[in-house]
Amino acid sequence: MKMKKYIYNFNEGTAEMKDLLGGKGANLAEMSNIGLPVPQGFTITTEACNMYYEKNHKLWDELIGEINIKIKELENKTNKTFDDKENPLVVSVRSGAKFSMPGMMDTILNLGLNDDTVDALAKNSNNERFAYDSYRRFIQMYGNVVMNIDKNKFDEIFDGFKVKTKVESDTELNAETLKDVVKEFKKLYKKETEKEFPENPKEQLLLAIEAVFKSWNTERAVIYRRIHNISDNLGTAVNVQSMVFGNMGDDCGTGVAFTRNPATGEKKLFGEFLINAQGEDVVAGIRTPLDIEILKDVMPEIYRQFAEIADLLENHYKDMQDIEFTIEKGKLFILQTRNGKRTVEAAVRIAVESVGEGKLNEEEALLRVDPSQIMHLLHPTFDKNILKNTKPIAKGLPASPGASSGRIYFSAAEAVIASKRGEQVILVRQETSPEDIEGMVEAKGILTSRGGMTSHAAVVARGMGKCCVAGCEAIKVNENLKHFIVDDKVFNEGDYISLNGSSGNVYEGVIQTLEPELSSQYITLMSWADKIRRLRVRANADTPKDAAKAVELGAEGIGLCRTEHMFFEEDRIAAVREMILSDNVEQRRAALKKILPMQKEDFIGIFKAMGPRPITIRLLDPPLHEFLPKDDESLKELANEMKIDFGKLKIRVEDLKEVNPMLGHRGCRLAISYPEIAEMQTRAIIEAAIYVKKEEGIDVKPEIMIPLVVKPKELTYIKDVVVKIADELIKESDIELKYLYGTMIEIPRACLVADDIAVEAEFFSFGTNDLTQMAYGLSRDDAGKVIEDYLNKKILQFDPFQSIDRKGVGRLMKLAVELGRKQRPDIKLGICGEHGGEPLSVEFCHGLGLDYVSCSPFRVPIARLAAAQAVIKAKGLIKQVQNK
């Protein structure tokens, strides 16, 4: 039996092999193949990682054997040998999953160094300082990553030496001091692990590989994957590569650069570098790096080479690249390339300009923008008139655009708590680290005092589409005292500040925001999307203002107009309560009569805003107790206002209480108990439609939607009421008015009897929020802890309230679509649950053959783009570019 191959040399792979080699490994292979200067090495596959977990978290003999063979080959190619006292092989060990997960996985540099080889390195490089600097870095990284020793304990020792030798920067420490650092690091290592630091490079290597495998399942990696919807089953590859050193002296350096500006999309090299440094120094934000343009002056030939390679790579990958490089003694090496993360502004600009440049066609360009990011383009900006007269308190790097105000918190944990309380939170940190991810998710904006445009905070915030100002050195952050100081002014936890992520400015207090202006590239891209998509896109909107916004954002109708929101408004809640507290149908009718003109006005406003676009109006849905106050104090007030007995009111309120309101007296059950409510609402809708048609000449298209149907007879019963009133009014009006009568499909049983329901319903609109709740037996109000726990324990791969559960809820939908169409071939099918604006769900709805999706106005562009992508993906001709 031929043994499975778990390791590939770089020259054995291609860019297509990301599943097996991870993104980094596949790209290293690709670059090797096209002749770029890549240090030699090999990749241990993701399959090996998964097998490691299957084998109870142990490296197995066959794999170890294969590693030994590959090391031998690497030794031959590099002419260096592990543990060789004269020409030792030194390698980096880096993780690389299919999707790059910045800062999530752990890296070890300089592996292979020990007390012997460090001297060989010193001798060969003729640079003792460099050799010991590399060695101390290795011990620290190894101790931290493999043995879990607190990084700060190393830093304390290191900083202690800086104080003792009175130097400011790391590079000023001389070789002798670094030797002492190494000694102290080793002592620390022994104290913490109760073992000697491993001097054998092979032992170092195996433990490091295992550490990379393990790092796939650290809590922060799991959280990152959850946020980005990445499967837990992919595993990570491990790249072992012979080291090149950027820290051998001033003819050395290291840097990171994008082929275009990742914040704006501008076509211009964008990046940073440091002289005499190893890669981590740039990313970790310990030293503030220099603009890549400066490299042109410092090392013009290297710059020219790099710019050429950058161009070559972008053309090769047909996408903007994020490239890591190292300069060793005046020679350029490329260590990594990947599709660069970018703001959505940049993504749109790059995609559209690439079509202009002939690099992509329109369909390819459409696939290059993540629909869920599009929403950030629509985020407000600060009012420029206010900004004119407002002095910023500080200015940092414009790391991720957007504008937000909020209260400051100095730890991720406190940010999370405050956000759950409902506060708008700005997370303020010296620098962020992967432990801060959850706090960053919750925050409206992020401010750091250290780190550059490629620092952790900057990269992650851009990925999240979240406003971020980084490296704002003017503010002095003290995380322990929970304050920052700027110009002698102290800002304490809970104080308000405002961040402009596009300019880097930081302001005191809250600043008024304005609607954003959309770029011409955005408009072009969306026009391509609209041309290609089949699904119509509607919005959920309950007010003329929301309706107008929806149209502005491209909505082609309203898929869900909730009438109860109108009931809550201050000027009508009294009449609504009077209606609810009525003892009999006459009293109820009297109260409804007061509501009628107001509700009619609402519809007139919405109809005018929507013009001839279809508008689905849902009749009253929530249980009546939602309209009444809960506590005795408010009830007493209400009793006074309404001039009724408190005791009687209290009894009625008790009577309306429900153990499980979600499964109670609501939806169409209300219209069946109190047909006069449906009567009034129908009257308001149809009278408004007639009015708008007569007065404005708009051909209004109302669609009356009955919620929470489980039995066809419910629809029949209410239809008798609705159609009678509607047809009477239309007849009296002497004009033509077409309206549809249909239902929400939001209860499992409705899906099972959808054929019978379609006899009465001219349209179905899937209410996937409730459908998911009922299908799972899990209420969103109560699901928080359960879903959290299930995601952590990997029982759920994703939150079914975020993205449609295709296997369960999706199957019910499919059944309903088939049965509904069988009964009524021209039935109109849509979705108005929140899933309607989530890209994966939109794709699913496209596949189901729905006619439209409906979502909140700000999600309309997401749905438009996702619907276009669904068409392109369904063609299956264009391979989807994974740029996560």
- Known catalytic residues? 456, 832
Pair of tokens at residue 805 = 């559960």
Nearer to a copy of itself, 161 or 790 (CB): 790
DSSP symbol at 561: E
DSSP string, 589-605: HHHHHHHHHHHHHHHHH
Nearer to a copy of itself, 73 or 626 (CB): 626
Q: How far is the CB of 742 from a copy of itself (least distance, A)?
A: 18
Nearer to a copy of itself, 614 or 707 (CB): 707
Pairing of strands 331-339, 270-275: unpaired
Residues 54-93 that bind a copy of itself (CB under 8 A): none
Q: How far is the CB of 596 from a copy of itself (least distance, A)?
A: 24
Nearer to a copy of itself, 4 or 657 (CB): 657
Q: How far is the CB of 849 from a copy of itself (least distance, A)?
A: 20
Nearer to a copy of itself, 605 or 847 (CB): 847
> Whole-angstrom Cα distance, residue 342 to residue 74?
35
Beta bridge pairs of residue 400: 468
Backbone dihedral region of 528: left (phi > 0), alpha (psi from -120 to 50 degrees) or beta? alpha
Work out which of 172, 219, 479, 789 binds a copy of itself, going by CB under 8 A. 789
Nearer to a copy of itself, 575 or 709 (CB): 709
Work out which of 421, 781, 825, 877 binds a copy of itself, going by CB under 8 A. 781
Task: Of 634, 627, 674, 666, give the one whose Cα is nearest residue 650.
Answer: 634
Which x/- pattern over 716-755 shows residues binding a copy of itself (rule: CB under 8 A)? -x----------------------------xxxx--xx--
Contact 843, 870 (CB under 8 A): yes
Q: What number of chain residues touch a copy of itself (CB under 8 A)?
A: 49
Contact 701, 737 (CB under 8 A): no
Pair of tokens at residue 225 = 């994957």
Q: How far is the CB of 650 from a copy of itself (least distance, A)?
A: 17
> Whole-angstrom Cα distance, residue 878 to residue 884?
17
DSSP symbol at 108: E
> Whole-angstrom Cα distance, residue 246 to residue 329?
8
790 binds a copy of itself (CB under 8 A): yes
Task: List, as own/partner pairs, every contact residues 121-130 make where C-beta atoms lie below 8 angstroms and the sequence separation is at least 24, other chains included.
Answer: 121/88, 121/90, 122/175, 124/86, 124/87, 125/245, 125/248, 127/248, 127/249, 128/175, 129/173, 129/174, 129/175, 129/178, 130/245, 130/247, 130/248, 130/249
281 binds a copy of itself (CB under 8 A): no
Which x/- pattern over 808-837 shows residues binding a copy of itself (rule: CB under 8 A)? xx-xx-------------------------
786 binds a copy of itself (CB under 8 A): yes
Q: How far is the CB of 797 from a copy of itself (least distance, A)?
A: 9
Q: How far is CA 274 from CA 122, 147, 254, 879, in A?
A: 22, 29, 6, 37
Q: How far is the CB of 386 from a copy of itself (least distance, A)?
A: 41
Contact 815, 779 (CB under 8 A): no
710 binds a copy of itself (CB under 8 A): yes
Nearer to a copy of itself, 659 or 877 (CB): 659
Residues 623-662 that bind a copy of itself (CB under 8 A): 658-662
DSSP symbol at 422: T
758 binds a copy of itself (CB under 8 A): no
Residues 230-259 that bind a copy of itself (CB under 8 A): none
Segment near a copy of itself (CB under 8 A); pick from 55-63, 389-397, 713-721, 727-735: 713-721
Tell me how far apart the terminal alpha carbons of the chain are, to the nearest angstrom: 37
Q: How far is the CB of 814 from a copy of itself (least distance, A)?
A: 10
Task: Of 422, 407, 421, 419, give the one whose Cα is nearest residue 482.
Answer: 407
| Other residues' Cβ atoms within 10 Å of the Cβ of residue 299 | 19
| Other residues' Cβ atoms within 10 Å of the Cβ of residue 804 | 28
770 binds a copy of itself (CB under 8 A): yes
Contact 447, 375 (CB under 8 A): no
421 binds a copy of itself (CB under 8 A): no
Segment near a copy of itself (CB under 8 A); pick from 308-316, 418-426, 500-508, 774-782: 774-782
Beta bridge pairs of residue 746: none
Q: How far is the CB of 740 from a copy of itself (least distance, A)?
A: 22
Q: How far is the CB of 779 from a copy of itself (least distance, A)?
A: 4
Q: How far is the CB of 458 from a copy of itself (least distance, A)?
A: 37
Segment near a copy of itself (CB under 8 A); pick from 107-115, 149-157, 634-642, 791-799: 791-799
Q: How far is the CB of 775 from a copy of itself (least distance, A)?
A: 5
Pair of tokens at residue 200 = 């054998």
Residues 672-691 that bind a copy of itself (CB under 8 A): 672-673
53 binds a copy of itself (CB under 8 A): no
545 binds a copy of itself (CB under 8 A): no
Segment near a copy of itself (CB under 8 A); pick from 35-43, 153-161, 282-290, 771-779: 771-779
Work out which of 329, 331, 713, 724 binds a copy of itself, going by CB under 8 A. 713
Nearer to a copy of itself, 711 or 821 (CB): 711
Nearer to a copy of itself, 643 or 793 (CB): 793
Provide the 3-class DSSP secondary structure of residue 480: coil
328 binds a copy of itself (CB under 8 A): no
State the angle between helix axes of 201-215 and 128-145 in degrees (0 to 180), rounded to the nearest 10: 50
Work out which of 79, 793, 825, 826 binds a copy of itself, going by CB under 8 A. 793
> Whole-angstrom Cα distance, residue 415 to residue 442?
7
Nearer to a copy of itself, 421 or 785 (CB): 785
Pair of tokens at residue 68 = 């030994």
| Other residues' Cβ atoms within 10 Å of the Cβ of residue 659 | 6
Burial of 277 (C-beta count, 10 Å sphere; 0-12/13-18/19+): buried
35 binds a copy of itself (CB under 8 A): no
Nearer to a copy of itself, 713 or 879 (CB): 713
Provide the 3-class DSSP secondary structure of residue 579: helix
388 binds a copy of itself (CB under 8 A): no
Q: How far is the CB of 482 from a copy of itself (least distance, A)?
A: 24
Work out which of 179, 594, 636, 665 binds a copy of itself, going by CB under 8 A. 665
- Token look-up 């276009």 returns 868
698 binds a copy of itself (CB under 8 A): no
Which x/- pattern over 94-133 shows residues binding a copy of itself (rule: CB under 8 A)? ----------------------------------------
Q: Which residues have a Cβ under 8 Å from the Cβ of 883 and sit 6 or more positions away?
A: 319, 339, 341, 368
Residue 560, CA atoms < 13 Å, CB-side half-sphere: 30
175 binds a copy of itself (CB under 8 A): no
Nearer to a copy of itself, 123 or 719 (CB): 719
Q: How far is the CB of 741 from a copy of itself (least distance, A)?
A: 17
Provide the 3-class DSSP secondary structure of residue 772: helix
Segment near a copy of itself (CB under 8 A); pick from 183-191, 435-443, 678-686, 803-811: 803-811
Chain length of the chain: 884
Q: Which residues have a Cβ under 8 Å from the Cβ of 828 and sit 6 or more positions away?
A: 740, 742, 762, 763, 764, 851, 852
- The residues that touch a copy of itself, with contacts defined as CB under 8 A, are 658-665, 667, 669, 672-673, 708, 710-711, 713-714, 717, 746-749, 752-753, 770, 773-779, 781-783, 785-786, 789-790, 793-796, 805, 807-809, 811-812
